Amino acid sequence: MKNRYSELGWGLLIAGIGLVPTSYIMLRSVPLISLGMAMMVLGAVCLVLGRARPKISPEMSILLMETGLENLNSLLEEMGLKSKGIYLPSRLAGGKPRALIPLHSDLHFPAINKPLERRLIVSCGELPEDMGILVTTAGSNIMGMLEADVGTSSEEMSTALTTILAGILDIAAGADIRINGSKAEVVVYHPRLRKNEAYWAEQSLGSPTASIAASLIAEVMNQPVVIEEEEMQQGEDLIRLRLLHAQDEK
Q: Which residues bind another protein (CB under 8 A)?
A: 5, 8, 21, 24-25, 30-31, 33-35, 37-38, 41-42, 44-46, 48-49, 51-54, 145, 147, 159, 162-163, 166-168, 170, 173-174
Toward another protein, which CB reaches closer, 38 or 60? 38
Write down the least CB distance from residue 49 to another protein, Å.
5
Identify whether the C-beta of residue 201 lies closer than 8 Å to the C-beta of residue 84: no
Write down the least CB distance from residue 226 to another protein, Å.
27
Toward another protein, which CB reaches closer, 6 or 182? 6
Handedness of CA 90, 93, 98, 104 (dihedral sign): negative
Write down the least CB distance from residue 17 to another protein, Å.
14
Toward another protein, which CB reaches closer, 66 or 170? 170
Write down the least CB distance from residue 215 to another protein, Å.
18
Write down the least CB distance from residue 212 to another protein, Å.
14
Q: Which of 167, 173, 93 is nearest to 135 (CA)?
A: 93
Toward another protein, which CB reaches closer, 45 or 131? 45
Toward another protein, which CB reaches closer, 134 or 160? 160
